[in-house]
Structure 1
Amino acid sequence: MRQIGKLDDPSYAERFVDLLAASGIDAKGEAGSGGVTIWVRDEDRLTEARALLTRFVADPDAAEFREAQVKARRARDEAAKRQQTTRRHVVSMRDRWSAPVHRRAPVTIVLICLSCAVALATGMGDSQQLLGDQLGGQVLRGLLIVDPIAAFEGLEATGATRTAEAASGVIDDAAIDDTWAFRGWSLRRGELWRLWTPCLIHFGVVHLLFNMLMLYRVGPMVESFSGSWRLALFVLGCGIAANVGGVLPEAAGGGWLAGGMSGVLYGLFGWGLMLQRYHRSRPVFFPPSTVFILLLWLVLGFTGMLDGPSTDAGGGYRIANWAHGVGFVSGLAVGYLQSLVSSRPSV
C-alpha cells in the first residue's frame, strides 16, 4: 500500500476514494491532523491514481466526479445486499455440530424418547398383551394400524365372521386378519393417527436397540444439515408411506401386526444417499461399508432369509420388507428433489 497524497476536506476525500473505486482501484482514506491521507493498495496502478488525484484537485466538484461517486456507492450497496443474501444461505456446520445433540437434533431426540416410552409401556411390544386389558395391550391397540378387538367385533356385527363360519363351518381368524375389511377398519372410522403411530412400536429389545442406535447415528447428521422442520415433515410423510406399504396382505409380504422406525430409517438412508451424490455441498453421511450393509440387508429381506423360523406356538416373525422398501424409495425421491432445488442459482 502506497500513499499518493492528501486532501484537506474529508467530503472531497471520500468522493475521491469513491472515484478510485469506480475506476477499479482499491484505496482508502486515513484521517489525520494534516487532512485525509489517500492510500492505494494496488501499486501497479499508482501512476493512474496520481493522475486522477491531479485532475480531481483541479475541480473536485466536476460532474464526472460526482457521477463516479454515485456509481461507486450504488456498487457498494449492491455488494452489501449480495453479501447479506449469501449469509442467509450459508449454514455454519461447525456451530451446529458444536451444540449439544438435544439442541442440534431435537426431532431425533423426541423420536427416540417416544419410541423408548412406548417400548416400556408395551413390554417391548409384547403381542401376548394385545387382547388383554393391561396398559400394554391398550397402548398397542391404540397405536397399531388397526385395533384388532374393535375390528373383529365390528366385522362380527356386520355379519362378516358369520358368513365365513357358514361357508367353512369354523371362524377362520387368520383369513379374516388377511382382508382389507379388517386391516382398514380403524382407518375407515377416522383414526388416521394410526397411519404413522406404528413407527413407535418395537418388538423386542434387539429391534428397539438397533433402530434407536441407527436413528441416533443418522438422524442428527441429516437434521443438522437439512433443518429440524424438514426432518419432522419427512419423518411424518415417510412413516405414513412405509406403514401403508407394510400393511399389504400376508401373501404379499405384509402384515398388520407390524411396527418400528426402520421404514423411516431406510427413508433417511435414501435421503442421505441422494444428498451425498447430488447436493452441491457434497455432505458425507454414510461410509461405503454402511451403504453396503444396509443395501444388502434390504435385498436379503425380500428373499425371506432374514425371517424368523416358524414354531408350534406361532408363525415366527417376518421382516417388514415393503415398509423398508417404500421408505427407501421415498427418501431417494426427497433427497433428489432437495438436491435439484439446492443447485438452482440464488436470486
Structure 2
Amino acid sequence: MIRIAAIPERVNLEPFRRWLDSQGVTHVIEHEEGHQVLFIKGEQLRQPVTDALSRYLDDPRHAGAPEGFTKPRQRRGIPGHWQAGPKDAPFTFALIVAAALVAWMTAFGAREQLMVLLTIVNPYEWPVASFEYRVEALTGTLGNLQLWRLLTPDLLHFSLMHLIFNGVMLWFLGSQIEAMDGRRHMVTLVLVTSLGGNIPQFLLSGPLFGGLSGVVYGVLGYVWLSNQRRPRFQFPPALMTVAVVWLLIGLTPLTEALLGASMANAAHLGGLLSGLAYGLVRLANDMRRG
C-alpha cells in the first residue's frame, strides 16, 4: 500500500472514500495521532488520487461534504496543499510559541543566568576553549542527565528579527509537514535536525549560539527533497537556492559586517543535511511499502 497523506480528523473523508470506491481504487484509511492516513494500492494511481484529494480538501464544503459530491472542482494552487491552522499543526505552533516565550523571559539573551540554563552546556561550569574541552563538557553534561540541553538552544533567540524570521519560516514549512505527514513525523524531524545542528555547532564554536535556524534548514531540506519525487508541499523552488546562497554567505566575513554577529553555519549545514537524510529514509520507506 502507498501512503498518500495524513488528513486531520476534523475533515470528513466519507464522500471522498465513496468516490474512491466508485473509481475502483483499493484503499485503506487508518487513524494515527489525530489524523486519518490514506493508503492506496497501485503506484500509477498515486498522482491522480493525490490531485483529487487536494481538490477535495480545497473545497470549503468538505467538512459538511454534500451527498452529491462526485468530482471535485478544479483547484488552484499547488497539489497536495491546504492552508494549515494551529489545530492542524499544534506541535509546530507550540514550538514557535515556546521560542517566543523564552525570548521574552531571557530578554533576547540579556538575562544570562536564565539563558545558561538552556545553552547546550553551562559555560560557567565547563571550560570550552578548545575542541577537546568541548567534547569533555558535552560528555559531562550528558552524564549529569541534563539531556534537555541538546534541544533547548533552539529556543534561544538574540533579536526580534531573528525570532520572527525563524518563526515565519518554521510555520510555513513545518505546519504543512505536520498537517500532511502527521505529528509523529514532524516531532521526529525536529529532533533529528535539532541534534544534527546543535551538536556540530557547539563542537566547532562553543555554547554561545541559539535559534531555530538549524531546524528551519532541516524542514526546508525535507520538503525540498519530498517535492522532487512527488510535489505535494507549497514550496517556491527559488527558496532552496536562496537558503543555500545565504548558507555560503555565512561562511564569509560579510554577515558579521552586515549584522554585527556571526552566523551559526554549522547548525545551518547540520540541520539541512539532517533534514535531507530524514527525507531519504522516508522516501525509501514509502518506495518499499509501494
> Same fold, TM exceeding 0.5?
yes
Matched, 1:147 2:118: no
Aligned to 2:247: 298
* 1:8-28 CA-partner distances (Å, limit 9, x unpaired): xxxxxxxxxxxxxxxxxxxxx
Aligned to 1:321: 265
SS of alignment partner, residue 216 of structure 1: helix
Alpha-carbon distance, 1:101 to partner:
0.7
* 1:182-227 CA-partner distances (Å, limit 9, x unpaired): 4554333221110111111111111111111111211111222211
Shift in CA distance, 88/293, structure 1 to aligned 2, threshold 3 Å = closer
Higher-Rg member (1/2): 1
Supply the AA of the counterpart residue of 2:241: F
* 1:67-123 CA-partner distances (Å, limit 9, x unpaired): xxxxxxxxxxxx999344798416855269668611111111011110001001000
Aligned to 1:211: 166
Matched, 1:226 2:175: no
Paired residues in the alignment total 227
Counterparts of 1:101 and 1:324, CA distance in 2: 27
In structure 2, stretches of 5+ residues that fail to align are: 1-22, 31-36, 41-49, 63-79
Aligned to 2:39: 89
Matched, 1:105 2:60: no
Counterparts of 1:99 and 1:245, CA distance in 2: 34
Alpha-carbon distance, 1:345 to partner:
5.1
* 1:1-49 CA-partner distances (Å, limit 9, x unpaired): xxxxxxxxxxxxxxxxxxxxxxxxxxxxxxxxxxxxxxxxxxxxxxxxx
Shift in CA distance, 151/222, structure 1 to aligned 2, threshold 3 Å = same
Counterparts of 2:213 and 2:187, CA distance in 1: 16
SS of alignment partner, residue 147 of structure 1: coil
Partner residue of 2:218 out of 267, 277, 287: 267
Aligned to 1:192: 147
Counterparts of 1:228 and 1:343, CA distance in 2: 21
Alignment of 1:19-38 (within 5 A): none
Matched, 1:285 2:234: yes
Shift in CA distance, 297/329, structure 1 to aligned 2, threshold 3 Å = same
Which aligned runs of 4 or more in structure 1 are off by greater than 3 angstroms?
A: 79-88, 90-93, 95-100, 174-178, 181-185
SS of alignment partner, residue 121 of structure 2: coil
Contact conserved, 2:131 with 2:203, CA < 8 A, in 1? no
Contact conserved, 2:84 with 2:179, CA < 8 A, in 1? no
Supply the AA of the counterpart residue of 1:209: I
Aligned to 2:46: none
Contact conserved, 1:97 with 1:104, CA < 8 A, in 2? no
In structure 1, stretches of 5+ residues that fail to align are: 1-78, 131-136, 153-173, 311-315
Contact conserved, 1:183 with 1:256, CA < 8 A, in 2? no
Give TM-score scaled by structure 1 length: 0.58
Alpha-carbon distance, 1:286 to partner:
1.9
Counterparts of 1:260 and 1:149, CA distance in 2: 21
Contact conserved, 1:176 with 1:182, CA < 8 A, in 2? no
RMSD between superposed Cα atoms in Å: 3.0
User: Which structure: greater helix fraction?
Assistant: 1
Shift in CA distance, 176/80, structure 1 to aligned 2, threshold 3 Å = closer
Supply the AA of the counterpart residue of 2:231: R
Supply the AA of the counterpart residue of 2:191: L
Contact conserved, 1:108 with 1:216, CA < 8 A, in 2? yes
Identity %: 29
Counterparts of 2:24 and 2:235, CA distance in 1: 38
Aligned to 1:257: 208
Give TM-score scaled by structure 2 length: 0.69
Say which structure, 1 or 2, has more relative contact order (CA 8 Å, 6+ apart): 2
